[in-house]
Structure 1
C-alpha cells in the first residue's frame, strides 16, 4: 500500500525540466570525496590494530597477551578496552559534534560546512600520523570525528538538493561509493604497510588519511552552494543562476518557485529544534532515528572495523587476514554500483528488503560455520576450507549491505525532511548513527569474547526485525521531489494517521509549495 501511494504521488507530481549536467556531476563528485575519508578511517582502524609494531608502541599489553596467552579462546584474543577505545573515540567525538553542526550548516550553508569538515579531517590525519603517545592518537581521532560530523550532515543534504529528483538516489549513493572506495584503499594500504621494515608502516596507514582530507578541503572551496542554501541566505538571483546551470536550461520557473515557497515556510519557523518535535514531523523523525540504528545493527561496522582482526581470530595468518579484508572491500565497491544502477528504477523499498534477506541468511550460515569449528570454547584453530567458506559468506553478506542498507541508510534521512528542519533532521540522524557506531565499536570485541559465534545470530535477529519494519512502514520515495515529500507520509496507511489531526496546519505549510506546481496533490 505504501509503495503504491508513493508511486501515485510521484506520478501526480509535475516533473521539473532539466537534465543531468556536468555542472551537477562535478560538484557532486567533489562533495562525495568526503566519503573517502570516512571510509578510509573505517578500513584503516582494524588493519592498524592488527599490526604488531603499532600494538607494541601504544598497546603493549595487548600484544603480550596475544603472543603469550596459551590456550586463550580464539574469540577473546583481541578483547582489550583500550584498543576498542582507540577505534570508538572518533565516533564519540562525532556524536557530540553533530549536535552543533546543524546550526552551523543552517547559518553558513552546505559548502562551508563541508570545508570545515575537511580542515578537521586534515588536522586529525596529520596528528595521527605523527603520534608519539596515546594522547596524540586520541586527539587525532577526536578531530577526525568532528570532520565526520560535518561531512555526514552536510554532504548528503548537498547531494540531495543539487540532484534532479529522478536521479537523486543515484547521485547521493556516489557518497556511499566513495566510502567503499575509502575502505578498499585503506585495506590495500594496510596490506602494503604491514610489510614495511622498520615498524613505521602504521604511520603511513594513519597519515595517508590526509590525501582524501585535502581533496574535500580544497575541492569544497570551488563548489557552488545549493540553490536551497542560497535562497535561505537571501541570494535569490544567484540561486536562480545556479539552478539554471545545474539543470542545463533556463526553464526552471516551476522548480525555482517551489524552492522559494519552501524557503518562505522555512523562514516562518523561528525555532526549528522545537518545530521538529511537532506531531506532523513524527514519521520523518522516527525514520531518522531508526534507520541509522538498524544500519549499525546489521553488524556491518563490526565486520569492517575489525575485518583483519576477525579473520586473524578465526585462524587466518596476518597476511591472509589483511588480504581477506581487501577482498571484502573490493566486493563492497562492486556491489555499490548495483545500488547506483537500481535505486531510481527499482526503488528504495525493494533494495532494502532484498538486501536484508541476503544479510540474514549469510549471518546465520557464518555463525553456524564458526560455531561448528570453534564451538563455545573457541580453543581450536579453523581449517583452510572453513576459513574460505567464512570469507565467502562474509563477502556475500557485505554485498547485500552494499546495495541496500549501506547507501540507503545515508540517502533516506537526507531526502525525507522538509527544508525548514532538514539540517536538524539530518543532525539527529548523524548523531544517532555516531552513537550506535560508537556502541558497536566499543562492544564488538567484548561481545565476540562472551557470545562467541552467537554474535552473528544476534545481528541476524536484528536484520530480521528491520527487514519486516521496512516492509510495513517505509513509504517509497523514488522520484518524489524533496519539496513535496510530505505527501508521501500523508498517503501512507500508518503514518497518515499522525498527520490527520494536523491536516489544516500541514495544508497551510504545504500550500505555498503546491500552488506553484499547477497540480493538485
Structure 2
C-alpha cells in the first residue's frame, strides 16, 4: 500500500525535490549564457574568417547550438505524455533525470560543434520530459489554494538554476583552456543525481493512481499529503470522491490520443494552453537569458564587467519570482498575465526607440569580432537599455515566468492531462528552438528591430489573454473541468473569460474544513458574479 511504503507526504518537500527538474533547464541556460562570450569557448569553437581570431561560431551556427537543446526538449515533451501515462508522473521525471546525466557526460567531453549539439539535444530531451511532467505531478498533488504557489516553484527553480550556475560558469571562466567550459558542463549533472535520488521516497500522483484503478494507494496518498494521516479528513473525503466521480465519467473515454485534444469539446482549452506556452516564449525573455552578453556588449560592456552586469538580471529573476509564489493564487492567472504583458511590452518599446534613435551600426564583423553584436550605443542611452533590460526581467519573473507553468495543467481533465500538458510544453520548446536559432541572425540583419518584434508580441498577448483566458485559480482540477463542460454549474460557467473570477478564499475554507455544506457558499458566489456582471469586472469570492 502506498501509505506504508512512501516516506514523505510533506507537500513542500515533495515540491522542493520535484522542481529540481526545472533547475536542469536553468543550469543549461546559464552555462551557455556565461560561456558563449568567453575567449576559451570562442577559440575552441572558432569559425572566424581568415585574418580574425577567436570570434567563436558564426551567428547562424551559434543559433543552432543554442536551439539544439530546445529541439530535443520539443521531442522530449511530446514523448513525455506517453511516458507519463504508462509509467506514472514520478517515474517519468526519474527517467528524465537519467537522460540528463547522459547528455551532460557528452557535453563535458565535447570535442567539436557536432558533438556539442548532440549532447545538448540529449539534455533537451530530459528537460522536455521534466518541464512537461513536473507541473502535472505537482498540480495533481497540490491543494487548490496552494497549487499556483507550488507549481510556480518550477519557475523559481529555473531562476535559481540560472543564477547559481551563471556564477559557477563565471568562476570557471578564469580557468585556462577547454576546462573552463568542461567543468560547468560536468557539474550540471549534480542536480539530476539529486532529483533521481530524491524522487524515490516521494508518492505517485493520486490522480494517476486512481486512473489505473489503484484506489487504495490513491486514498493513502491523499491521506498522507492532505489529511496529515487522517483518512476521515473532510477535504480528503471530498477530494477522493471528486476524483472517483471524474474517473467513472471518463471510463467511456479510456483510449486517449493526441487527436482528442483537437475535438470540438477540447479545442478551446487546447488553444489556451498551447498559446500560454507560445506567448511565454514570444515575450522575448530568451533574448535576455541566452544572449544577454550580446545585448550588453552592444551597450558597451566588456570583460568581467559584462559578465557581472549580465548576472544581475539573474538575481532579479530569482528575487522577483517570490511575489508570485506568495500571492499568485490570490492574484489569479488572468490579471497576472495581463499585467506582465503590459510592462514587458512597455520596456521593449522603450529599448527599441532608444536603440533606433541614439544608437548606430557596429563595424563590419560586429563588436569584438562577434557578428551578432551588430549595433552600438554608448553613454547615458546605453544605461537606459541596460535599465530597461533589468525592468523587463523584473516584469517577466512574477508573471509569465511562473504562470506559464501553472496554468496549462489546470485546464485539462485527468484522462488527457499528461498528453495535453506535453503538447502545450512542446509548443514552448518549438518556439524556444525557433527563437534560439532566430535571435543571433536577427541581431545581424534587423538589429534594433528585434526588440520591436517582441514588443508587438507582448501587445498581442495582452489582448488575447483578456478575451480568451478563463480564470482557474482557487478551483479543484475537477471544478476547472466544469468551467468548460458542466452546464449545471455555478452561474459564471459559460460567461466570457473576462468575467470569470478567483476562488481563493473559498478553496482555503474548504481545505481547512471550515465549509462542509456549500449551499451558502454557492449563494455567495452567485452574488459575487451578479456584481461582476453589473460592473463588467472580475471579483474575488
| Shared fold, TM over 0.5 | yes
Question: Does structure 2 conserve the Cα–Cα contact (< 8 Å) formed by 1:39 and 1:182?
Answer: yes
Q: Secondary structure at the match of 1:224?
A: coil
CA shift, 1:380, in A, is 7.1
Describe how 1:21-420 pairs up with structure 2 within 5 A: 23-61=10-48, 80-247=59-226, 248=228, 249-250=230-231, 251=233, 252-273=236-257, 274-375=259-360, 381-420=376-415
Stretch moving more, 145-154 or 437-446: 145-154
Q: Secondary structure at the match of 1:323?
A: helix
2:353 counterpart SS class: helix
Residue number in structure 2 paired with 1:432 = 427
After superposition, the C-alpha distances for 1:62-91 in whole angstroms (9 at most, x for unaligned) are 8975768xxxxxxxx985222111111111
- Structure 1 residue 408: Cα displacement: 0.7
Give the secondary structure class of the aligned counterpart of 1:343: helix
Q: TM-score, normalised on structure 1?
A: 0.86
Q: Is there any run of 5+ residues in structure 2 with no aligned partner, and where?
A: 1-7, 364-373, 486-492, 499-515, 526-541
Measured on the aligned residues, the alpha-carbon RMSD in Å equals 2.4
Q: Distance in 2 between matches of 1:91 and 1:453?
A: 25
Distance 1:425 1:387 in 2: 43
Query: How high is the TM-score relative to the length of structure 2?
Result: 0.83
Counterpart in 1 of 2:502?
Answer: none
**SS state at 1:344 partner:** helix
| Alignment CA distance shift 1:211-1:518 (3 Å) | same
Distance in 1, matches of 2:354 and 2:261, equals: 46
* Residues 63, 464 of structure 1: alpha-carbon distance in 2 compared, 3 angstrom cutoff: farther
How far off its partner does 1:310 sit? 2.2
* Higher RCO (CA 8 Å, separation ≥ 6 residues): 1
Q: Cα distance 1:385–1:214, how it changes in 2: closer, same or farther (>3 A)?
A: farther
Distance 1:145 1:198, change over 3 A: closer
CA contact (8 A) 2:100 2:189 kept: yes
SS in 1 for 2:262: coil
Alpha-carbon distance change, 317 to 404 in structure 1, aligned in 2, over 3 angstroms = same
Give the corresponding residue for 1:493: 495
Deviation, 1:220, is 1.7
Partner of 1:280: helix, strand, or coil?
A: coil
User: Which structure 1 residue ranges, 5 or more long, are not aligned?
Assistant: 1-20, 69-76, 497-515
SS at match of 1:276: helix
Change (3 A) 1:65 1:222: farther
Aligned to 2:417: 422
Task: Return closer, same or farther for 1:62/1:263 CA change in 2, 3 Å cut-off.
Answer: farther
Q: Matches of 2:518 and 2:323 in 1, distance apart?
A: 36
1:467 matched to which residue of 2?
A: 462
Q: Which moved more, 1:102-111 or 1:54-63?
A: 54-63
Whether the aligned pair in 2 keeps the contact of 1:194 and 1:201 (CA below 8 Å) is yes
Deviation at 1:210, TM superposition (A): 0.7
Check 1:296–1:409 CA distance in 2 against 1; reply closer, same or farther (3 A cut). Answer: same
3-state secondary structure, aligned to 1:345: helix
Could you report, residue by residue, the CA deviation over 1:264-305 in whole angstroms, capped at 9, with x for unpaired residues? 333421332232222111221011221111111100012101
1:73 matched residue in structure 2: none
Q: String of CA shifts for 1:345-390, please: whole Å, max 9, x gaps.
A: 1111121111111111111112222223323567774335333322
Asked if structure 2 preserves the Cα contact closer than 8 Å seen for 1:360 and 1:463, the reply is yes
Q: Is the 8 A contact 1:78 1:445 kept in 2?
A: no
Cα deviation 1:377-431 (Å, max 9, x = unaligned): 6777433533332221111100111111111111111111010110111011011
Large movers: runs of 4+ above 4 Å: 62-68, 376-381, 516-521
| More deviation, 306-315/467-476 | 306-315
1:458 aligns with 2:453: yes
1:374–1:382 CA contact under 8 A, matched in 2:
yes
